[in-house]
Amino acid sequence: MLTGVSPDSSAAQESDSDDPVIAASAGMCRFTAGGSGSERTLIIGNLLTGMGGARYGAVLISGGRIVELVPEDGIESITGDAAVFDCGRNYVSPGLINPHEHTRYSFQMLTAQDREKLPVYAHRDEWIPDSGFGDGADKIRYKEGTYDAKTLFWIELRHLLAGTTLIAGSGAVRGLAKNAGSRQRPEYEYSADIRTFPFGPDAMQRIRRLRSFTDPGTEAFRPELSEDLPPRAPYVPHVAEGTDLAARFEGRFFLDYVATHKSLRRFSLIHGVGLDSGDIGRLGHLDVTLIWSPRSNVALYGETADIPALLRENVRIAIGTDWSVSGSYNMLEELRCAAELYGSGSGSPALSSADLWQMATGNGAYALGLEAVTGKLEAGLAADIMVFRKQSGDPFDDLLRATAQEVLATFVDGRLRSGNHEGFSGALPDGCRFNVGAYFVCAELPDAARGLPFGFDEVLQANRKEDIVPLYREDHRPFPNQAECAVRTRASPQP
């Protein structure tokens, strides 16, 4: 759960927590290869094991899992033949978990013409092209999703470079981040029913004709489930995506269903913009995690979920990027947007920077039913880890100011997958042979039959194109055409 404590309460618990801000160039990782045949890896740094802050130590890894969290005075004795990543006082955190990303669509940007319309929508059906509802002139124009391996590789790499180790989305490639999704394909390591909309077009037409919650009753509006998944796969649909009465009805009918089926699986709810106060209270009681996508919410609907009310009801909140058309380009950008709306940047913060870190790690794992797999630095869990640069004594504030440039390394199952050359002194492990600007990638490319391999010089050039979402910011410049993160007023109809 989130604490809603003040943003200043999360300072790192270490002897130099009052040090002045460290220059961006300070603090690097050094890799030392392990003994022949050894499967052990040691990552040394300031470990983030909870919202209380950081403590210097090491993570011992074997077989892709965390074996032990080693205190400072035990590091030397346990090193032995392990491969060592000594990252000094930089922060070692669970990798970020993105429980809501329409991966197949996230190569494209909102057009300038569509940006001028925003926000005009009271419900998602007003902007979705084939919803059968709303004025066609108000629809957002975007391309069909892709299954092209090169494009999916690009999209997933963008998230990996920014510290994301698991994505729940509509497309995937093997060998980068972990993936959760509904299709029975080898790219998806974890099952999740991420059906976009739980109520189909016919049901939505009937819902729109309702004028009160006492009409035909909830049974006529049971959510649709995917039948080809394990019966206990978590159910993670879009619900109450909008501000009108239809969005409120959706929230009520979905939670009525959860109330009688909550013992069968994990339930989460994406967006929840239209939930009323009564249904916000039910989220906590029914243990339904809200997956929050603040940038996309304010871009499309002018507002977002009522975070203070959710906190009062002890609702667990996770955070995800949605898609590149109206959402954030990576999890770091989404965290910054959340902080602008309800964190330290809002003027009256409801969320601390530690809260936001928890939303992007452990809460994301819980939303997908994976809290026993990943999301924490804890013995027995997967070694899904990000290392980011220490800039001050507060790790959570540093995370909110970080871009991909401050993410020194991302590990998945204990294996280094990507990082920043400027954050390493000396050699890298074998297999880290691909370079994209200042970044390196340690991954086997998908096979040529699916459109790869391709030269990484092509990847670097593509990052500078104006019609594709870039992998990273260059020189800390703002991402081009990322939707503005600001609450807006719905435009009045023209006379």
Cis ω on the peptide bond leading into residue 223 (within 30° of 0)? no
> In angstroms, rounded to a whole number, what is the distance separating the alpha carbons of residues 445 and 467?
24
Q: Is the pLDDT of residue 213 over 90?
A: no
**Which of the four pLDDT bands, split at 50, 70 and 90, describes residue 24?**
very low
Q: Is the pLDDT of residue 309 over 80?
A: yes
Q: Give the pLDDT score at 23.
A: 32
- Cβ neighbours for 153, distance < 8 A, ≥ 6 positions apart: 173, 176, 445, 446, 452
Identity of residue 149: A
**Tokens 């980068």, residue?**
176
**Judging by DSSP bridges, how do beta strands 268-271 and 238-239 pair with one another?**
parallel
**Which of the four pLDDT bands, split at 50, 70 and 90, describes residue 282?**
very high
Whats the size of the chain, residue-wise? Answer: 495
Q: Is the pLDDT of residue 424 over 90?
A: yes
Query: Which helix H or strand E contains 268, and what residues bound it?
Result: strand 268-271
Q: What is the mean pLDDT of residues 21-42?
A: 77
Structure tokens at 347: 């003027």
Q: Give the pLDDT score at 108.
A: 92
Single pTM value for the model: 0.91
Q: Is the pLDDT of residue 227 over 60?
A: yes
Q: Give the pLDDT score at 4.
A: 35
Secondary structure (DSSP) of 345-374: GGSS-SS-HHHHHHHTTHHHHHHTT-TTTS
Structure tokens at 66: 């965390």
Which is more confident, 495 or 306?
306
Secondary structure (DSSP) of 143-155: PPP---HHHHHHH
Q: Is the pLDDT of residue 273 over 70?
A: yes
**Judging by DSSP bridges, how do beta strands 289-292 and 317-319 pair with one another?**
parallel
Identity of residue 340: E
Which is more confident, 15 or 294?
294
Radius of gyration of the chain (CA): 22
Q: What is the mean pLDDT of residues 425-430?
A: 92
Classified as helix, coil or strand, 427 is coil
- Percent of the chain at pLDDT exceeding 70: 88
Q: How far, in whole angstroms, is CA 280 from its chain's centroid?
A: 22
**Which of the four pLDDT bands, split at 50, 70 and 90, describes residue 177?**
very high
**Which of the four pLDDT bands, split at 50, 70 and 90, describes residue 490?**
low
Secondary structure (DSSP) of 48-102: EEETTEEEEEEEEEETTEEEEEEEGGGHHHHHTT-EEEEEEEEEEEEPEEEEEE-
> In angstroms, rounded to a whole number, what is the distance separating the alpha carbons of residues 29 and 381?
23
CA 84, 15, 358, 322: dihedral to nearest 10 degrees? -70
> In angstroms, rounded to a whole number, what is the distance separating the alpha carbons of residues 321 and 163?
13
Highest mean pLDDT among 26-35, 416-425, 432-441, 486-495: 416-425
Q: Would you give the DSSP letter of residue 167?
A: E
Q: Is the pLDDT of residue 386 over 50?
A: yes
- Cβ neighbours for 70, distance < 8 A, ≥ 6 positions apart: 42, 57, 58, 59, 60, 78
Structure tokens at 75: 């590091």
Q: Give the pLDDT score at 454.
A: 54
Q: Would you give the DSSP letter of residue 317?
A: E
Highest mean pLDDT among 17-21, 33-37, 441-445: 33-37
Digit-coded pLDDT (tens) for 62-78: 999 999 999 999 999 99
> In angstroms, rounded to a whole number, what is the distance separating the alpha carbons of residues 238 and 170?
14
Q: Is the pLDDT of residue 2 over 50?
A: no
Average pLDDT, the chain: 88
Q: Is the pLDDT of residue 312 over 90?
A: yes
**Which of the four pLDDT bands, split at 50, 70 and 90, describes residue 488?**
confident
**Which of the four pLDDT bands, split at 50, 70 and 90, describes residue 446?**
low
Q: Give the pLDDT score at 186.
A: 79
Exposure of 333 by Cβ count < 10 A (0-12 exposed, 13-18 middle, 19+ buried)?
buried
Digit-coded pLDDT (tens) for 145-174: 988 888 888 899 999 999 999 999 999 988
Q: Is the pLDDT of residue 1 over 60?
A: no
Range of weakest confidence among 300-314, 414-428, 455-469: 455-469
> In angstroms, rounded to a whole number, what is the distance separating the alpha carbons of residues 206 and 84?
60
**Which of the four pLDDT bands, split at 50, 70 and 90, describes residue 458?**
low
